[in-house]
Amino acid sequence: MKWTVRRQYILYIVVLHAVLLFLMYRLLAADKVYFIASEVFLLISVIVSIILFRSFMQPNAFVRSGIEAIKDKDFTVKFVPTGKGEVDALIEVYNLMIDQLRQERTRLFEQHFFLEKLIAASPISIIILDFDNRVEQLNHKAQQQFGAEAGMLVGKFLSESNVPLLQQLDQIPNGESRIIRQNGMETFKAQRSNFIDQGFSRSFLMIEELTTELLESEKIAYGKVIRMMAHEVNNTLGATDSILQSAIEFFPDHDPFDIKDALRVASERNRRLGRFMRNFADVVRLPNPQLKEVDLTTLIRDIVHFMQPLAEARKIHIEIEKQVPLRRMADAAQLEQVLVNILKNALESCQPEQQVLIELNAKQICIRNNGKPILPDEAAHLFQPFYSTKPHGQGIGLTLSREILHKHGFTFLLQTGADGWTQFTINL
């Protein structure tokens, strides 16, 4: 049994009064008046001891009740002053402490609630990691961005994810940010930071998609360059071609010095340069699509038939591997231009006896080939204006395709898989 101060005090009072009672009986038993008076005094002493005991124990009772309330996280319990100075001072301190704890808890709860709402409503994807750097929480934007994969991320390391973007995020040190470009098209700004939770550091990642903003700023920049180039080149070509045509008419048909033929070559070169500039200008002047219901199955079949001679000339097998009846709202002319460009690129990347296969399902158009793969260094630049992997390429085919698909609201992906097949996927 634990000897508390309370039990020690009670034992002391009991022993003390028992000794006094024994002594008074032995000394005053013969004198009844003194004996009775001493008994009365002893009774009063017992009563006073009990009153003092209760007074001494009352602060302990308050402290015990307060501790129990704090353990239960109940900050609504307050004590009423008793009129006793020492006890009231203790009650005042306790009530003040409880008020401060309640206000602090309310403030923290409101901040936490506001932070949760802010994270949930953020237009930026936020991933919160636990103490072991495993994914603990994703906000609504992150769940939308990673789709079905988001539900499988919780409890995993970023490096264990099947999403290439998340695998790259795992390599970002705390306090740093990086620009990550994927598939030559999607661009993200990712930042990793940390915060203190229960005295320990935890990390979180913010992922902001910059694709639309960068595309717009990029389009404005190259649009200005193309318009300036077209203005200067066209002005020069118009004047020089007029002079060349006049000079051609001046010389006889059988010029011994072949000057007339040279002038014709120069004139044709002018026209080619003009067509070259018009191709660039098409990217800037691309009109908004005129949407009508298009039979995509028939459109693709016709395009394959159109590209068949080129495939046969290069001894490449081109085939519609799978197709379903599918109609979508689109601009048939613009979409045809995209598909022709994709097929042309696929054929040009193949060697004889290689294949170009087309698949059309309810959600996607997939064009894949087993020709030359896309190198990692090339993948980040494929859709940039003026960039081409071909010796005589102008770098506008994929840029124009990107603009058309973007205006249609179709997402797309161009990459070489682990099996060596390069696939262009248009998500309808």
Are 196 and 143 members of one domain?
Answer: yes
CA distance 24 to 22: 6
Instruction: Note whether residue 158 is domain-resident.
Output: yes
User: Which of 251, 284, 317 is the last residue before a domain boundary?
Assistant: 284
CA distance 267 to 144: 56
Average pLDDT, the chain: 77
Residue ranges making up the domain that contains 324: 292-427
Instruction: Note whether residue 118 is domain-resident.
Output: no
| Cα–Cα separations (whole angstroms), residue 226 to 146, 267, 279 | 37, 22, 10
Q: What is the pLDDT of residues 375-421, one digit of tens each?
A: 777 776 666 666 566 655 556 677 778 888 888 888 888 888 888 88
Are 313 and 423 members of one domain?
Answer: yes
Are 9 and 22 members of one domain?
Answer: yes
Instruction: Note whether residue 129 is domain-resident.
Output: yes
Are 21 and 69 members of one domain?
Answer: yes
Instruction: Note whether residue 21 is domain-resident.
Output: yes
* Helix 5-28, helix 32-71: angle, nearest 10: 180
Q: What is the pLDDT of residues 203-250, one digit of tens each?
A: 888 888 776 666 666 666 666 666 666 666 666 777 677 777 777 776
Q: What is the pLDDT along the chain (428 residues), one digit of tens a residue?
A: 556 666 777 777 777 778 777 777 777 767 777 777 777 787 887 788 777 777 666 666 666 776 777 776 766 677 666 666 666 777 777 778 878 878 888 888 888 788 788 878 788 888 888 888 888 888 888 888 787 777 788 888 888 887 777 888 888 888 888 877 766 567 788 888 888 877 788 888 888 877 666 666 666 666 666 666 666 666 677 767 777 777 777 666 665 556 666 777 777 777 777 766 666 666 666 678 888 898 888 888 888 888 888 888 889 988 888 878 888 898 888 888 888 888 988 888 888 888 899 998 888 899 989 888 887 777 766 666 665 666 555 566 777 788 888 888 888 888 888 888 888 888 88
End-to-end CA separation in angstroms for the chain: 79
Q: Which amino acid is at 56?
A: F
User: Which of 284, 311, 326 is the last residue before a domain boundary?
Assistant: 284
Reading phi first (left if > 0) and then psi (alpha if -120 to 50, else beta), residue 73 is in: left
CATH for 269: 1.10.287
Instruction: Note whether residue 111 is domain-resident.
Output: no
Tally of domains within the chain: 4
CATH for 369: 3.30.565.10
User: Which of 159, 186, 209 is the last residue before a domain boundary?
Assistant: 209
Are 97 and 127 members of one domain?
Answer: no
